[in-house]
Chains A and B, each alone.
Chain A
């Protein structure tokens, strides 16, 4: 430890700090160079063969129609892509809501003390999780829609409310101002929330049971009924008319099959997450709920599930992302989501590379927004913990 033996200056080629930087820069430069090389080759080859490399194709007429959409075939490709994007959002939103509900129920059922219920849930999860989704999609279409549903001439009309055939499932719908209905629903939801809050305060003051669900529900229904008549909204019921149904709204058979497959498949994954998350909640919590004589439902609803969902949100968010991406499998059965619209556009003259790149960017955007929403939900749940 004398001054003469003091640490010599490490030459820069052996200095870890410098090396770290150098390696990173080299890696980045190599990746950038490689991508530029690929891109350069692509542009050059494309130009030699007169293939457009820009996005001008978006303004060309699409020259095809989208099933179940009034879009005219002379509309530009960009409009067709937008309709495909909306169809992807439709299947994603509907699928996410249904898969979450079914997954939660099955996840709880797996832990049921009822032997049959628990076994059935296990069989469902294990069977479904281990089969490729593409098979479910084709099977939902070939077996359920084409095999089980009747031809339109012999359509099922349960209670006169629905028309079910292999050309789609028609359900009652409303007629009138869509905005008015949305506004009514929003006000009704607000009324529910306000009434529930008020019942909570009353319960705090008086010690009576709050029954906020009952009171809020009544408020919701009252506002809905008032709004329904105020806006002059009317219900239409589907009816069979020769080879198609009139009235109501018809759910496209491809949508139905894809929805069925995505929900059954994704719910099996969500069920496992829910089961794991419930088991991750400390046992004492459930025992404490039993000790204060909460019913089975109250124990789950007020004590266990809120804590379980805190654990479950990030992995369930991943399942949502999977569901959105998996919705592109609907192309095989003719569901015009973003992927199928892009493929059809490419088949009708749009250049493949820019078209598919654009579609990928749109999927990335959808996924990032979904992650953002899940992260916000996660952060809010996490805050409650403190």
Chain B
């Protein structure tokens, strides 16, 4: 009962807006437009709304269009990747305006797998609070934007999360001269975080768990957090460990001025690419593009040595690189070219190379992001 009334409110609100628009449009005679409008609550039921829309030819087309994003990307010849522009190590702009970083490289990995060309990617910079809307509306084909996989996001944001590219956790960064050595020292302090992220909730939960009083201040962009931190408005700067490492490396007073309390990581933050719900063909293609980088590292294939594998006799590697095995090329039916793994590794590199290129310089260790065979969590299903 309660649900139905709530559901009815949204269309009513839209109609109320419409009513307001009408009365300002015409003179008082158009008053009968409002009864016209209020009849429409029939449209509360979704089926009714769709029948009403089938009058327009365009809609019919949209409704019947069930083409996978995979086909759309191949048709367009360019992959639109939702990313960001100011997170050192993951995605930021170099002086020539090029996107550089771990996430940016995974955008290129997907483009190389699907289109055979790592440069056929259009980077779309998204604000944190706009990223899911952009994905839902098809403004971007996939989101590779440092996004934590959570149940609510999987369920309510219309996103399907795929293989995590980085297992992160939230940590606390403090000024080295502050005297804070553990979270337990930090009572009655101000913690600064970025807005619209899971960070806010994690910080509040951790403070409650430790019985501490934290005042959490949330800012729109990291530059302002840094400013507030330098001015001494914040005692702690909390974010994902990887992000803190990035900000620390670029801190104006030098990285030594900051200390990350990295022994006390207080949340699980699997950063995973996401695609829109309801398109498993595309989801599989993106997943396997990422698995290819992991599998390549496991095989020891890098962008440097990949051509030496042309004469390999290992059938698993031959199949992986799209070479003939006993006169046949393995096509698992993912909708990707059979040599997609070759394109990914030769043009961008394997997982370890991507990690070393962007995250090792920040001072991040492989840690849980080592291959499973080295005791980490990075694991790819077999390619066969």
Interface presence of A97 (CB below 8 A): no
Collect the chain A residues with CB atoms within 8 Å of residue B29's CB. 20-21, 24
A40 adjacent to B277 (CB under 8 Å): no
In this complex, which of A28, A52, A254 has the most chain B Cβ atoms within 10 angstroms of its Cβ?
A28
Determine if B224 and A333 form an interchain contact, defined as CB atoms under 8 angstroms apart.
yes
Interface residues on B, range: 35 or more
Contact of B333 with A by CB under 8 A: no
- B193-234 contact mask (Cβ, 8 Å, vs A): 1 or 0: 001111011001100100000011111100010011001110
Which listed segment binds A: B7-15, B91-99, B249-257, B354-362?
A: B7-15
Contact between chains at B3 and A39 (CB < 8 Å)? no
Q: Per-position contact with B for A47-77: 1 when CB-CB < 8 Å, else 0?
A: 1111111111110100111011000010000
Q: Are B233 and A347 in contact (CB under 8 A)?
A: no
A109–B53 Cα gap in the complex (Å)?
60
Q: Which of A32, A53, A64, A332 contacts B18 (CB 8 A)?
A: A32
Residues of chain B in range 1-56 having any CB-CB distance to chain A below 8 Å = 3, 6-7, 9-11, 13-16, 18, 21-22, 25-26, 29-30, 33, 36-37, 40, 43, 46, 49-50, 52-53, 55-56
Determine the residue in chain A with the shortest Cβ distance to B48. Answer: A40
A28 x B200 contact (CB < 8 A): no
Given that A166-B232, A333-B224 are known contacts, is A32 also in contact with B62, CB under 8 Å in the complex? no
Asked if A49 contacts B36 (CB within 8 A), the reply is no
Please name all residues of chain A whose beta carbon is closer than 8 Å to the beta carbon of B276 when the two chains form the complex.
Answer: 49
Tally of chain A residues near chain B (CB < 8 A): 76
Q: A151-B231, A350-B156, A357-B14 known; A334 and B3 CB under 8 Å?
A: no
Is there contact, CB below 8 Å, between A346 and B196? yes
User: Which chain A residue shows the least CB distance to B228?
Assistant: A146
Interface status of A152 (Cβ within 8 A of chain B): yes
B residues within 8 A CB of A343? 129, 195-196
B133 at interface (Cβ–Cβ under 8 A)?
yes
A49 touching B136 by the CB < 8 A rule? yes
- The A contact surface, by secondary structure, is helix
Q: Is there contact, CB below 8 Å, between A349 and B156?
A: yes
Let me know if B224 and A142 touch, CB within 8 A.
yes
Known: A28-B30, A52-B156. A347 touches B277 (CB 8 A): no
Q: Mark B169-210, 1 if CB is under 8 A from A, else 0.
A: 000000000000000000011100001111011001100100
Instruction: Please name the residue on chain B nearest to A250 by beta carbon.
Output: B215
Interface of B is mostly: helix
CB-nearest residue of chain A to B155: A50
A67 to B213, CA, bound (A): 12
B231 A147 Cβ-Cβ under 8 A: yes
Given the complex of chains A and B, what is the CA–CA distance between A53 and B129 in angstroms? 18
- Give the CA-CA distance A347 to B277 in the complex, in Å: 18
In the bound complex, what is the Cα–Cα distance between A21 and B30 (angstroms)? 8
Given A57-B156, A166-B233, A333-B224: A344 in contact with B218 (beta carbons within 8 A): yes
For B50, list chain A residues within 8 Å (CB).
Answer: 40, 43-44
Quick check: is B132 within 8 A (CB to CB) of the other chain? yes
- Contact in complex: B277, A49 (CB < 8 Å): yes
A223 to chain B, nearest CB (A): 38
Chain A 301-348 residues near chain B, CB threshold 8 A: 331-334, 336, 340, 343-344, 346-348
Contact A142 B227 (CB under 8 A): yes
Give chain B nearest CB distance to A142 CB in angstroms: 6
- Shortest beta-carbon contacts, A-B, top 5: A347-B196, A349-B152, A151-B232, A49-B158, A40-B49
Where the two chains meet, the residues of A that have a C-beta atom closer than 8 Å to any C-beta of B are 20-21, 24-25, 27-29, 31-33, 35-37, 39-41, 43-58, 60, 63-65, 67-68, 73, 138, 141-142, 145-147, 151-153, 166-167, 241-244, 253-254, 331-334, 336, 340, 343-344, 346-354, 357-358, 361
A-B CB contact pairs (8 Å), 24 listed = A20-B29, A24-B29, A25-B33, A27-B25, A39-B11, A40-B50, A51-B156, A51-B277, A52-B156, A55-B7, A56-B6, A63-B201, A63-B204, A73-B204, A166-B233, A243-B190, A334-B217, A334-B218, A347-B196, A347-B197, A348-B196, A349-B155, A357-B10, A357-B13
Q: Which residues of B contact A (CB under 8 A)?
A: 3, 6-7, 9-11, 13-16, 18, 21-22, 25-26, 29-30, 33, 36-37, 40, 43, 46, 49-50, 52-53, 55-56, 59, 62-63, 128-129, 132-133, 136, 150, 152-153, 155-158, 188-190, 195-198, 200-201, 204-205, 208, 215-220, 224, 227-228, 231-233, 235, 276-278
